[in-house]
Structure 1
Amino acid sequence: MMLALLLGGLIGLVLGLTGAGGGILAVPALVLGLGWPMTQAAPVALLAVGVSAAVGAIDGLRQRIVRWRAALLMALLGTLFTPVGLLLAHRLPERWLMGLFCAVLLVVAWRMFSQSRDRPCAGSGIDHSWEQKNCMLNQRTGRLDWTWRCSLTLSVVGSCCGFLTGLLGVGGGFLLVPAFRQLTDIRVHGIIATSLMVIALVSGTAILGALHAGVRIPLAGGYFIGASVVGMLAGRVLSPRLPARVLQVGFAALCVGVTLYLGSQVL
C-alpha cells in the first residue's frame, strides 16, 4: 500500500509540474514498482492520470488559462483514434509494447532536452520564429486565430495523442506539451493547463472502453490513483515557482533513467 501511495504521489507531482509525463511514467511505475503486467498497469495508469489531469484542468479553467476550444478539438479527434490504439495493443506481444514504450520515452527525452536549450534570437528581443508557428494568438483579442493551418495542426496532434493513449496506456501529455511549444505561441502555463484538459478528456474515453471490456481496478490501484491526485495538486502549486528549463531538463533525465531500467528488464 505504501509503495502504491508513494508512486502515485510522484506521478501526480510530475504531471502537475510539467503537464506531461504522468502517464508515460505511471505505466513503468506500476510495472516495475508493483510488478504488474502492462495490460493491467495501463488502465490504472490512465485512470490515475485522467483524474489527476481533470483536477489540474479545472484549476486552469478557474484561472482562465485553458485554451478550451483547442482542447475540445484535440480531445474529439483523440477520442476517435483511441480505440484504434487499443485494438492494436491487444494484438501485439508484451515485449513489443515494452520496446515501443522505451522508444517513445527516448524521443520524449530528446525533445524536452532540445527545447530546454532554445533561446529567443538576440537583438530586438523579438522571436524570429514567430511566423513559423502554425497556431498564433491574436494580439488584439488574446485568442487563437482559427486558420485552416491551425485547425489541421491541432487535429493531427489530437489524433496522435488518442492513438498513443490507446496503444500504450499513456495520457498523451508527453506529445501535447512539446507540440504546443513548437507549433503555437501560447505561454508555458497555458500550454500545461490546456494539455491537462485534453489528457483528462481523452483518458476518460479510454478508461470507459477498458471498464466496458471487463478491466477491474485492484485496491492498490485505488491507492495509486488517490495519491496521484494529491501529487497533482502539489505540482500545480509548485509549477509557477520553478523555471521551465529546470522542469524540462529534469523530466528529460528522468525519462532516460526510466528507459534504461525498463530496457534492462525487457532484454
Structure 2
Amino acid sequence: MLLTAIALGAVVGMTLGLTGAGGGVLAVPALMLALGYSLADARPIALIAIGLAALLGCLDGLRRGIVRYRAAFWIAAAGIVCAPVGSALIQVLPARWSGLLFSLLMLCLAARTWRGARQAETGHAAGGCRIDPLTGRFRWTRHCASRLAAVGGAAGLLTGMFGVGGGFVIVPGLRRISDAGVHASVATSLMVIALVSGFSAATMLLGSVAVGATGWLFVVAALCGMLAGRVWQPHVPARPLQRVFAGVMGVSAVVLGVNVLAH
C-alpha cells in the first residue's frame, strides 16, 4: 500500500510538472481506485499534493521569468471565490452520482485533450489578451480581464467539487485567449493551481479532515515527481505527451465509472 502510494504520487507530480495540467484529475482516481479512498476522502489529499507540487513548479517558473504573475493572481482570485461554491454543490450530491459525474468529466477532458494534442505544438490564435512587445506584459483591457476571470472561475468551481487543480482548464484557456507561449501558460497555470488548491486544502484541513500516513507519502512523492517533471519538461515533445495523457485519463475514467456503478 505504501509503495503504491509513493509510485502513484510520483506519477501525478510528474504529470503536473510536464503539462501544468491533469495532475489533480489523475490524483483523485488514483487515490480512489488503487488506495481505496472515497471521493470525499481523496479530495483533500489530492488538493494538498497538487497545491504543494504546483508551488514547487511555480517557483521554478518565477526563477526562469516565465510566469505571468499578475494574470495568475487575477485568475486565482476568481478561482478562490468559486471554489467554495463547488464544495457546497458536491456535498448535496449522493456519493454515487458525484463519482459518476467526475468520471464523465474525465472522459470529456480525455476526448478534448486527444483532439487538441496538435495544438500543443501549433498553439492557438490569441483572443483578448495580448502581450505588449515593449513591456513584455499583457495589455489589460476589460475584455481580457473578464475572460481570465472566467477561466479562473471554472477552474475554482471544479477544484471545489472534485479536488482537482484545474490546470486542464487554465492551460488551454490561456492558450486560447492569449498569445502567451506554452511554457509561460504552464508556469502561470502552476501558480494559479498553487494558490487555489492551497486555499481549498487549508479550508478542508481547518475542518478537521484527516490525511493519514499514506496520504502524506502520496504528497511527498508528488513533490518529487514535480521536480523531475520540471527538469524534463523542456525536452519532452508536447504532442505525444498529451496523447499518452489523454489515453491514461480515458482508461481511468472508464475504470472509475465501472467501479462506482459496481458499488
TM-score, normalising length: structure 1: 0.93
Residue 16 in structure 1 maps to residue 8 in structure 2: no
Residue 261 in structure 1 maps to residue 255 in structure 2: yes
Give the counterpart of 1:238 among 232, 238, 245: 232
Letter in 2 for 1:50: G
Provide the C-alpha distance between the structure 2 equivalents of 1:107 and 1:63, rounded to a whole number of angstroms. 33
Q: Is the 8 A contact 2:8 2:218 kept in 1?
A: yes
Q: Is the 8 A contact 1:16 1:231 kept in 2?
A: yes
Letter in 2 for 1:21: G
Give SS of 2:171's match. helix
Provide the C-alpha distance between the structure 2 equivalents of 1:175 and 1:38, rounded to a whole number of angstroms. 21
Give CA-to-partner distance per residue, 1:54-74, whole Å, 9 cap, x none.
000001001000000000001
Provide the C-alpha distance between the structure 1 equivalents of 2:184 and 2:232, rounded to a whole number of angstroms. 15
Q: Is the 8 A contact 2:121 2:238 kept in 1?
A: no
Residue of structure 2 equivalent to 1:124: none
1:120 Cα deviation after fit: 9.0
Q: Is the 8 A contact 2:121 2:239 kept in 1?
A: no
Letter in 2 for 1:159: G
Structure 2 gaps, min length 5: none
User: Structure 1 residues 73, 259: CA separation in 2 closer, same or farther (over 3 Å shift)?
Assistant: same
Letter in 2 for 1:197: M
Residue of structure 1 equivalent to 2:47: 46
Provide the C-alpha distance between the structure 2 equivalents of 1:149 and 1:21, rounded to a whole number of angstroms. 27
| Aligned-pair identity (%) | 45
Q: Is the 8 A contact 1:80 1:159 kept in 2?
A: yes
Runs of 4+ in 1 over 6 A off after TM superposition: none
TM-score, normalising length: structure 2: 0.95
Equivalent residues, number: 260
Structure 1 gaps, min length 5: 122-126
Letter in 1 for 2:188: T
Provide the C-alpha distance between the structure 2 equivalents of 1:247 and 1:147, rounded to a whole number of angstroms. 34
Letter in 1 for 2:179: D
Give CA-to-partner distance per residue, 1:189-208, whole Å, 9 cap, x none.
11110000000000011011
Instruction: Tell me how large the CA RMSD over aligned residues is.
Output: 1.6
1:137 Cα deviation after fit: 1.4
Provide the C-alpha distance between the structure 2 equivalents of 1:101 and 1:217, rounded to a whole number of angstroms. 21
Residue 72 in structure 1 maps to residue 73 in structure 2: yes
**Mean CA deviation greater in 134-143 or 197-206:** 134-143
User: Structure 1 residues 252, 163: CA separation in 2 closer, same or farther (over 3 Å shift)?
Assistant: same
Residue 156 in structure 1 maps to residue 150 in structure 2: yes
1:101 Cα deviation after fit: 0.9
